[in-house]
Amino acid sequence: KVNNYDVVVVGSGGGGFAAAIEAKQAGKKVAILEKMPTVGGNTLISGGEMNAPGNWVQKKLGIKGDSVKSYYKDTMKGGDNLGDPKMVHILANNALGSAKWLRDDVHVKFLDDQLFQFGGHSYKRALIPVGHTGQELITKLDAKANSLNIPIYVNTKATSLIKKNGRITGVKARYEDKKNVTFNAKKAVILTTGGFGSNVKMRTKYNKEYDKRYKSTDTAGTTGDGIVMAQNVGAKLTNMKYIQTYPIANPKTGMISLLADTRFDGAILVNQKGQRFVEELERRDVISKAILKQPGGYTYQIWNDKIDGISKTKAAHKAEYNELIKEHLLYKADTIDELAKDVDIDPAALKATIKKVNQYAKTGKDKDFHHRAGLVSLEKGPYYIEKAVPSVHHTMGGLVINDKTEVLNTKGQAIPGLYAAGELTGVIQGSNRLGGNAIADIITFGRIAGKTAGNL
């Protein structure tokens, strides 16, 4: 079967939806292909937080001093300056506009009284969608795409790009692994297929460390298809060896722990000896490596009701809370003694650690690890202790794109007809993506891809 469109978008995560919506609004005939039975990709199962310097919630909370420049600097530094400065400038300049677009055009609801300060950021600048997950984003993007009559072909896996006279003119796809389908794209193919965190073979091809010992926080569809398809038509790859682990994931399933977002509001990390070993707001790679160096290669995260009162993750992630309790990966206790006994930590050692934390919370100075936001008192229970391990979360490397999201070949020239945005690109996050930067990236560059295609 053959289908004819102006623009074919491959992948229905946040990047794909943003691209499709913009291209359609510019008057193009657009389709989205999605290999899974449902839309959303990793965007759906992510926390959905989005960095936007100078945002409206910062104003409401009286957070002053944040700027595009500060956000740019944090992002570059967070990625060891391996991001492309020009592209990171585009991200920093457009992040707030992307957030407003989601809010005003797509009708995404963000909390109006809470922000996250993820590791590596100088300010609380990440907007939080209601429900604290990407479900709010995908539900609203999907509704918007529906209202614009953009067809979404699910169970439809793009397998290769069609190249005619040096130009990409469409994609070949398989429907339910049974039927071949061709999608011709008169103007553009936009790849938004996400990263390759779930593809162990591809992970180890580029970095031997991340073999099957590591689980992944990613959806099963996150297998690097777009990167491979583009490479087969001459695209250049970059930063492929940089693979990010999320430090706090479920030791049994590898799933990201969103309940543990209390870490951004003062929860501490200790090892089996009851000792802290890293600044809790360090970069994800630093925390992950530090955890793997501890006895057993895991950590415990500890917080109390006071901290939960700030981050409100218990109410937001009830299902995860119940699941962790059931699996004995999370315990609640009224005293530090009980807490320590629940997980076989020496109570005296844990009490000594907590005593120091309480002192540092009072003075505002964490003498051991220089917690950048200042520690929070753990004097009062009830307490929570959660066991966690690092899990492969985000692949920083991928396609080289330019400011128009054109995919470049190994000679640095644009491959006519081919565009890409989102996690499968490799030029924005450098060696290490900061929290809240994926959504800002995929919406910003997804929209640019859609607008570029819309102008063709």
- Binding window for ligand ADP (CB under 6 A); candidates: 32-40, 47-55, 207-215, 380-388: 32-40
Residue bearing tokens 């565009």: 419
Binding track over 95-124 against ligand ADP, x by CB under 6 A: ------------------------------
Query: Can you list the pairs that 310-315 forms with residues at least 24 positions away whose Cβ atoms lie under 8 Å?
Result: 310/262, 310/265, 310/266, 310/376, 311/114, 311/261, 311/262, 311/264, 311/265, 312/114, 312/132, 313/132, 313/258, 313/259, 313/260, 313/261, 313/262, 314/259
Helix axes 14-25, 437-454, angle to 10 degrees: 30
User: Does 129 participate in binding ligand ADP (rule CB under 6 A)?
Assistant: no
DSSP string, 167-194: EEEEEEEEETTTEEEEEEEEEEEEE---
Residue 57, phi-psi category: left (phi > 0), alpha (psi -120 to 50), beta (remainder):
alpha
Question: Is residue 133 part of the contact set for ligand ADP (CB under 6 A)?
Answer: no
Q: Which residues pair with 414 in a beta bridge?
A: 408
In whole angstroms, the minimum distance from the beta carbon of 282 to ligand ADP comes to 24
If one asks whether residue 36 binds ligand ADP (CB under 6 A), the answer comes out as yes
Task: Please report whether residue 15 would count as binding ligand ADP according to CB under 6 A.
Answer: yes
80: helix, strand or coil = coil
Map residues 135-174 to x or -, x wherever contact with ligand ADP holds by CB under 6 A.
----------------------xx----------------
- Counting contacts by CB under 6 A, is residue 221 touching ligand ADP? yes
Interaction between residue 23 and ligand ADP (CB under 6 A): no
CB 87 within 8 A of CB 74: no
Among 5, 8, 24, 42, binds ligand ADP (CB under 6 A): 42
The residue within the footprint of ligand ADP, chosen from 5, 9, 14, 263 (CB under 6 A), is: 14
Tokens of 174: 């398989």
Residue closer to ligand ADP, measured from CB, 35 or 236? 35
| By the rule CB under 6 A, 423 interacts with ligand ADP | yes
Establish whether 372 is a catalytic residue: no
- Beta carbon nearer to ligand ADP, 199 or 299: 199
Nearer to ligand ADP, 240 or 292 (CB): 240
List Cβ neighbours of 86 (8 Å cut-off, separation of 6 or more): 403
Piece in contact with ligand ADP (CB under 6 A), picked from 28-36, 125-133, 320-328, 396-404:
28-36
In the bound complex, what is the minimum distance in angstroms from residue 39's beta carbon to ligand ADP?
Answer: 6
# of chain residues touching ligand ADP (CB under 6 A): 27
Backbone φ, ψ for residue 26 (5° rounding): -85, 5
Whichever of 42 and 311 has its CB closer to ligand ADP, that residue is 42
Between 108 and 290, name the residue whose CB sits nearer to ligand ADP.
108
Name which of 106 and 350 has its Cβ closer to ligand ADP.
Answer: 106
Minimum Å gap between C-beta 157 and ligand ADP is: 4
Q: Is 451 exposed, middle or buried (0-12, 13-18, 19+ CB in 10 A)?
A: middle
CA dist., res. 57 & res. 54, Å (int): 8
- Residue 266's SS3 state is coil
Between 40 and 170, name the residue whose CB sits nearer to ligand ADP: 40
Report, in Å, the least distance between residue 191 CB and ligand ADP.
9
Which residue's CB is nearer to ligand ADP, number 34 or number 279? Answer: 34
314's enclosing H/E stretch is helix 313-316
Catalytic residue among 284, 372, 433, 447: 284
Torsion sign (Cα): 207, 261, 101, 150: positive
Least CB distance from residue 439 to ligand ADP, whole Å?
8
User: 443 Cβ partners below 8 Å, 6+ apart?
Assistant: 14, 15, 18, 50, 98, 99, 101, 102
Q: Any contact of residue 193 with ligand ADP (CB under 6 A)?
A: yes
Structure tokens at 276: 């802290």
Residue 394 beta carbon to ligand ADP: minimum distance, rounded to whole angstroms: 9
Distance, in Å, from the CA atom of 239 to the CA atom of 432, rounded to the nearest integer, reads 10
When the beta carbons of 215 and 276 are compared against ligand ADP, the nearer one is 215
Binding test (CB under 6 A) with ligand ADP, winner from 141, 258, 287, 442: 442
Choose one: 8-16, 140-148, 231-239, 329-337; the region binding ligand ADP (CB under 6 A).
Answer: 8-16
What 3 state SS string does 365-428 have?
CCCCCCCCCCCCCCCCCCEEEEEEEEEEEEECCEECECCCCEEEECCCCEEEEEEECCCCECCC
Q: What is the DSSP letter of 235?
A: B
User: How distant, in Å, are the alpha carbons of 13, 346, 404 from that of 27?
Assistant: 22, 66, 18
List the interface residues with ligand ADP, window 172-191 (CB under 6 A): none
CA–CA distance, 211 with 141 (Å, rounded to integer): 34
Which listed residue (48, 83, 170, 422) binds ligand ADP by CB under 6 A? 422
Residues at the contact surface with ligand ADP, assessed by CB under 6 A: 10-16, 33-36, 40-43, 157-158, 192-194, 221-222, 225, 422-423, 438, 442
Write out the catalytic residue numbers.
284
